[in-house]
Amino acid sequence: MEIPCSEDYDSHKRFAGCTPRKCGRGVTDAVITREEAERIRRIAERGLSLGGSDGGASILDLHSGALSLGKHFVNLYRYFGDKIQDIFTEEDFALYRDVRQRIQQRIAQVFGISPSAMYLTKPTFFSRMNSTGAKTAHDEYWHPHVDKVTYGSFDYTSLLYLSDYSKDFGGGRFVFMDADSNKTVEPRAGRVSFFTSGSENLHRVEKVQWGTRFAVTISFSCDPAHGIADPLLG
């Protein structure tokens, strides 16, 4: 679905052949298989089992090592050291990288840019949401927001869903808040939602009412200065 670009990109340096000139959003079930999504979810479950927020939203960032723990965050790699080798495998990180590349290629194809002009950027992270009440502001994931306003580096945002709406959890749908009406995405394992990151895609996530919702947010910048590498084991 193509929509006019907001002015958010004007206040940042433009990168020819990447900075959105055609804006919009898409949903596809044809890039990542359900089986791959379940394997990715197991990576998230193993990592998040080491910590977890006291509230309803926990994150795991394999790039920076950030892991929710109680009301705070710890660095997974520093906190657990060599034990990380017992939790994740090289195959886990290879799958994560492969999935990231395929999503990047699909976004580039849809928006008519070269995948090599896009850079993975931070934060890129797993999220686990349940119906536990918020204990800190980090747990309040349901507020409407614009990614480009929150994170200036973002130009393209994607979400890979790792669990199924109405089977694994209730609530927790992704809502694009348009002027005329809301457009709602129902998560299912393997479904990818992707969009340009400006105000043309104001959005929120409904509160999870029951069960557990897993997803991974994979974000891209046109600015090589904001690029990050794929995570490496050890």
27's torsion region: left (phi>0), alpha (psi -120 to 50) or beta? beta
Closest CA to 120 of 234, 211, 228: 228
Question: Rounded to whole angstroms, how far apart are CA atoms 185 and 91?
Answer: 30
Neighbours of 24 (CB within 10 A): 17
Pairing of β 174-177 and β 203-205? antiparallel
Other CB atoms within a 10 A radius of the CB of residue 177 amount to 14
Catalytic residue among 128, 173, 191, 213: 213
Is 106 catalytic? The answer is no
- Return the closest-CA partner of residue 218 out of 124, 121, 145: 124
Any idea how long the chain is? Answer: 234
User: Using CB atoms within 10 A of its CB, is residue 167 exposed (0-12), middle (13-18) or buried (19+)?
Assistant: exposed
Structure tokens given for 158:
């994607």
As annotated, the active-site residues are 213
